[in-house]
Amino acid sequence: MSTKTERWTLRVTPMQDAIVRQALRATGKSLNEYVVSCALASATDDLADRRVFALSPDEWDRPVGDKPKIASLLAEPSVLERLG
């Protein structure tokens, strides 16, 4: 396990504090455990769509083949179009 050397200082409103403390009681986590785990989960989600997907030139230039299932799905009216 890595040594914890970094420190965060946060300011919150009384309402924010009350809600988080209620969650602490419900989960049994310490404030530090809760804030760090929630921050890491959120950061992971925020970064998920920003990953680099590397393709070789052959993969990048590969022609798109026929996709009959996708074509038939896109040819159908959407749920919103059916309701309208």
Q: Provide the mean pLDDT of the chain.
A: 90
Residue-wise pLDDT for 36-53, tens only, equals 999 999 999 888 878 777
Across the range 53-61, mean pLDDT stands at 79
pLDDT of residue 64: 80
- Cα(16)–Cα(19) distance, rounded to whole angstroms? 5
The domain segmentation of the chain, as residue ranges, is: 7-51
- Stronger pLDDT, 34 or 65, i.e. the higher one: 34
Across the range 14-30, mean pLDDT stands at 98
Distance from chain centroid for Cα 12 = 23
pLDDT of residue 38: 97
Most confident region among 11-15, 64-68, 77-81 by mean pLDDT? 11-15
Residue 70 corresponds to which tokens in the numbers above?
């996708």
